[in-house]
Amino acid sequence: MDRTLVDFIKVLRTAEVKVSPAETLDAMAALDIVGYDDRQFLKNTLSLVLSKNPEEKEAFDSCFDHFFTFDKFQSNDDEAGSDSSSEFQDQQDDFNPQDGAGEEGREGSGGGQGMGQGSKGEEPTFGEASEDDSLLPQSELGKLLLSDDKTELAIAMAEAGRAVEVNQIVVFTQKGLFTRKMMEHMGLRELQEEISELRKMGGGRQINLADRLKKARDVLREQVRDYVERQFFLHADETGKQLREELLKKVKLSNLEKRNFKDVQDVVFKMAKKLISIHSKRRKTFKRGQLDVRKTLRHNMQYDGMLFDIRWKSSKVDRPKVMAICDVSGSVSNYSRFLLMFLYSLADILPKVRSFAFSSDLGEVTQLFEYSTLEDAIAKTMRDYGAGSTDYGQMLMDFKKMCMDDVNNKTTIIILGDGRNNYGEAKAEILREIYDKCQRLIWLNPEPRMSWTVGDAEMKKYAPSCHQADVCNSLLHLERVVSNLLRSVT
């Protein structure tokens, strides 16, 4: 049962219910106390241990109901049965019509249930048709199918699913693959061989048994397919979402369609949240305050206990000062959109971000993002500053006039653009002045390096005046750049 509980907790985690190892151990201890005889009691107990807020409780209820269910194998008269279980029962009755079987018939059916004497006038069942054992299924799967034992069938299917690791299904196109693997694990090969042998015998009874086994096999295949489908929605719904997110991180932002923007925005916020959790607690230690004895002793072990390197407990968060300049002309507007989104998602650790947009004339959009929703601010930025002809020389002159006095040795400047200046004056000397005055100057170019010197590109003039000049055309690149920025300035 512990293994089943661990699998269930994996499902909860894919549904974004945060379950720690300690909570997993608590759930196991609770399970030992309450047992699993009472389904509702078990559900309420695990819900108290594993879910912490209304959203997680809702996700828990859904996961529990889907994970611990065998509705496909409930009998028709069971009030909890579903339409699908009734359909299964009807299909079973078609090839196994031995309702009302007695104890004597069950003993003669090779261990299966429901194989005994039928009512007078009904078609004889497999067990009573002849004393010839060849008319009884010989394969294990055949015996299970014609036994009408739904509990054993459910257990066999669950064991097959565990054996082929159906919980590792990622995409819906794997449904057929896992269905075949489960059928083979349950004994499909032996069943197929038995059906073929019965048909080769050619007798009426043999053909009848072969037809019943074939019909049972087809019903089983449909049930296994449904089981795999349920496992996909249970295990791979969030896994598939994570896969899509990984793909969105790697795809070029210029290739994204409008319908993908919402998904990409969610990815950006998750990436920013991860960076916040990593970097928000980075500290800068003072050279005065309360002595940190533990750190001092550890750092001075190399000096044989002589306290040359003193460590203090007083600390504060060192916040970077960032200026982001984004080219929002048509060719690179998508990249700028997501850089601005990324930076403003990091407000907890980058509260001093100043943002600028240009195609020719430079304008500051910091307040626009502070007092408008993110979507409205981005749309207005693109509309107000994205219509002109790209002119990096004019942008650099405007920046020198507006902001040069605010740049100091704690300032990091990020420029995102392709460096294509429409054969205008580059003004690279102004970029050099900025380089000499700021702490770091980073240029992010969405084009591949081989294009940096082709046509009207001016990167050959701008790159030498940058501390870092990198290709950046995907969310993965953006995350890496921002992570390195935070690592170096905190």
Q: Where are the domains of the chain?
A: 2-68, 72-247, 285-316, 318-489
Q: How far apart are CA 354 and CA 365, in angstroms?
A: 8
CB within 8 A of 100, min separation 6: which ones? 118, 119
The CATH code of domain 318-489 reads: 3.40.50.410
Residue with structure tokens 């059916």? 109
Reported as half-sphere exposure (CB side, CA atoms, 13 A), residue 288 has a value of: 0
Backbone angles phi, psi at 315, to 5 degrees: -155, 165
pTM above 0.75, yes or no: no
Q: What is the pLDDT along the chain (490 residues), one digit of tens a residue?
A: 677 787 788 778 777 788 888 888 888 888 888 887 888 888 888 888 888 888 788 888 888 887 776 544 444 344 334 444 444 344 444 434 333 333 333 333 333 333 333 333 343 333 333 334 447 888 888 888 888 778 888 888 888 888 888 877 777 778 888 888 998 888 888 888 888 888 888 778 888 888 888 888 888 888 888 888 777 766 655 555 666 667 777 777 766 655 566 667 777 777 777 666 665 555 555 566 677 787 887 777 777 767 767 777 665 545 568 888 988 887 677 777 777 777 777 665 666 788 899 988 899 988 888 788 877 888 888 888 887 788 999 999 999 999 999 998 888 898 988 898 888 898 999 999 999 999 889 998 988 888 898 888 899 999 999 998 988 888 788 778 777 776 654 4
